[in-house]
Amino acid sequence: MRLFIAVPLPENAAAALNNCTKPLREKKNVRLVPKQNLHCTILFIGEKSESECKSIIGTMKEIREHLSVAEISVNRLVLFPSGTRKPRVIAAAVDSANQGLQVYHRIFCRELGMLKVKNYHPHITLARLRQNDQVMQKKQIHHLIELPSISFQAENIILYSSLLFREGASYDPLFTIKLGS
């Protein structure tokens, strides 16, 4: 199964971000991330067996008391890959007080025996641009989307399994860490 660890968005934050992407709904070359799938990835783990998944859940249970609530704020629109005229991903960059998301990332990498992503940039993917169609220019994207000011607390960290389909991904929560409890 394909696994990742993420902070889910509260309903009001997901609704506000979903609402700001309305101008992109009419664009043929854009696939919006459904509101229920919006999240901030801490660590993409990749394909793992069921026994490896159980081990990851065991590790998450062991380290949960070392994780605290982080204040998260959406601060700007970003496009990936950066530095290219033809971006593939439209995302909202996020910051966290005391670099909470980066701390989560380092802890999970260390505890799961994975290499830390050198350039971990916390973000919430809003849409993907299809490769085969004419790609919108960066200026056009920035003109169409006005990000709202959003702040929220990371109250949960969830291990998800991800199934990929032609029409998009489907996420299934496998284990939840309730922060601050």
Query: Which residue, among 110, 104, 145, has the nearest Cα to 122 in the 3D structure?
Result: 104
Q: Domains of the chain (ranges plus CATH)? A: 2-175 (3.90.1140.10)
Collapse the DSSP code of 172 into the 3-class scheme (helix H, G, I; strand E, B; otherwise coil) and give the result.
strand
Of 126, 120, 123, 90, nearest in space to 108 by CA: 120
Tens of pLDDT, residue by residue over 71-82, are 999 989 988 877
| Closest listed residue to residue 23, CA positions, set 135, 139, 141, 167 | 141
Q: Tell me the β-bridge partners of 38.
A: none
pLDDT per position as a tens digit, 98-127? 788 999 999 999 999 987 767 788 999 999
- DSSP bridge partners of 172: 161
pLDDT band at 86 (very low <50, low <70, confident <90, very high): confident
Confidence of residue 140 (pLDDT cuts 50, 70, 90): confident
Claim: this prediction has a pTM higher than 0.85: yes
Q: What is the pLDDT of residue 48?
A: 96
Does the pLDDT of residue 135 top 60, yes or no? no
